Structure 1
């Protein structure tokens, strides 16, 4: 199977994929504020994440590209949505276009459709510094996202089996690029140990890409003759991964949460527990393909309105205030964090 055909397979199976129930979001509950002393007009969603200024805490996370005309159309429409709503946007892995120049147009379209927006290039951890520079130049990117997808590759019939030297390669890219480097998991979460390693080599933004969103193990298992079903439930739930990351990182490294965010309340919870921004992919893709561009624009504007309403209820005029909002952590999430030595009382008593 060609790389182009595989790219479309991923989209097709992603549309059919049923996201796992993200129990951890339900186990985070805000403590009600009867006197918030704030108006919805006071709420500001714009903020900085590392060297990037975002007008919204939401961004369109990596989805596709390199799959011919069909993925070209998806990227074109997503870029139009990003331009209209002010969202940052990451593209899917550009390795396909680096190896086959005929696929570059499927990525280049995002800058044509969104000439002044924040765009994020994307490659895997096998990339070299020269390939990283090529990916950034291809879409005039404001940052580069390096994705970590060990479980996906192991499940993929034709996937990689050797992951040695990945940290060294990422460090070489960080040192060679003039734009920020974001390292992202693709849906299996990051532990605090992984996050510390990435921070130690100069990675300034980490997207934990937790379990609960698009499940690439299930997608790849659909392409196998014999499924590796033990990977279908593999990973760290997104809220837990955000808290693990926040427990070991200083202010020099920003956290992005992605994986299983299904609405405004999940987004607000993700920021309150430590994320600086929230990436959404599968949810947006489903809306775009099934309902069209206008419906996706409307959904994003609705999310923005609902986020402002929730922040008003909490008395938080900006994202920094939101991170000081008291909340309770219960259930399996509490037990996981307790076993990992993370004191959850700090959230309820702040």
Structure 2
């Protein structure tokens, strides 16, 4: 049953090491240029950003985590409370379980109940065109995410391996719902080529979810009887920093950089690469669901982002997006091979 699988995913992510082993996000190759004369007041730095008409106090998104099992209701409730209090965006896990089993709807609707003004992101898979409007209704969502997870499906014992027609289905979903649609990967990143296809299909927002954070091959490895394939593809994917640069250099729609981002400093690097917002999921799940701990984590993220902005002399997110940076090592090598001139970042 889908609900049982959701519980297994939740427990594995919370209690096991599910992060990439030998592949990093690539942000260690990104160096922001220090400004010894920032000429700004750190206390006046504005972290706010606007997403489809909603003003948020920070570019931080709590990206898709859970839902679809009674055990996830309390987690979603606590995340909704802190998201509302801090005026940041929140996404939920795949809503297929609730769409097909009405008794599970409250594991998602609890989010809007506790976050009436929050920017909320629903979540379905590309094949679930018939569930799109139901998913929006259950959550009263502002954005509907379509998750792309071919690696997870490849390793998952009950995976769907027929990906034919997905792009057409995505286009139909964008037509079927009355809210913006976001495409999101689940830990393997999105290339510039794929980003262009998604934009052409009518997608309004891309969450890259690159490699270097949670590996869903790892998650499914813990569930599989035969661990060979999961171990082999554990580190598959496009590193987050690279995916961010590829996507922002190929499409002109808002981009969330996520996948292994763990601090405001890494977030600053992602935004300087061109991302509009940044997302995190696993760090929130690894925390206890105490209100105090979640709130403190958000405050530390925001303050570390503000410090990074102070050190480059950026008063706001738009100025941070224009900050100079140097791309080094494997990240530079990859981007140059893909036709992206990394000198453009250092000579802004």
Give the shorter-chain TM-score range: over 0.9
Whole-Å separation in 2 of the counterparts to 1:339 and 1:133: 41
Q: Is residue 2:14 matched to residue 1:17?
A: no
2:332 maps to which residue? 334
What secondary structure sits across from 2:255 in the alignment? strand
RMSD of aligned alpha carbons: 1.2
Kept in 1: contact 2:92–2:121 (CA 8 A): yes
Whole-Å separation in 2 of the counterparts to 1:52 and 1:190: 26
Give the number of equivalent residue pairs. Answer: 343
Q: CA deviation at 1:55?
A: 2.1
Whole-Å separation in 1 of the counterparts to 2:276 and 2:56: 10
1:122-201 mapped onto 2 (5 Å cutoff) = 122-128=123-129, 130-201=130-201
Q: Is residue 2:69 matched to residue 1:61?
A: no
Unaligned runs of at least 5 residues, structure 1: none
What secondary structure sits across from 1:182 in the alignment? strand
Q: CA deviation at 1:42?
A: 2.5
- Mark the CA change 1:261 to 1:30 in structure 2 (over 3 Å): closer, same or farther: same
Whole-Å separation in 2 of the counterparts to 1:42 and 1:201: 40
Q: CA deviation at 1:50?
A: 4.2
Q: CA deviation at 1:17?
A: 2.4
Kept in 2: contact 1:50–1:254 (CA 8 A): no
Kept in 1: contact 2:25–2:259 (CA 8 A): no
CA deviation digits over 1:39-88, x for unaligned, max 9?
013211111234443221101110110112x1111111111111121111
1:296 to 274, 294, 297: 294
1:31 maps to which residue? 33
Kept in 1: contact 2:25–2:211 (CA 8 A): no
1:235 maps to which residue? 237
1:198-209 mapped onto 2 (5 Å cutoff) = 198-209=198-209
- Mark the CA change 1:114 to 1:23 in structure 2 (over 3 Å): closer, same or farther: closer
Kept in 1: contact 2:127–2:166 (CA 8 A): yes
Whole-Å separation in 2 of the counterparts to 1:5 and 1:230: 26
Unaligned runs of at least 5 residues, structure 2: none
CA deviation digits over 1:1-32, x for unaligned, max 9?
x2111101101111212423625111100111
2:101 maps to which residue? 100
Kept in 2: contact 1:50–1:205 (CA 8 A): no
Whole-Å separation in 1 of the counterparts to 2:251 and 2:56: 21
Kept in 1: contact 2:156–2:220 (CA 8 A): yes
Kept in 2: contact 1:121–1:144 (CA 8 A): yes
Whole-Å separation in 1 of the counterparts to 2:219 and 2:181: 27
Moved more, 324-333 or 34-43: 34-43
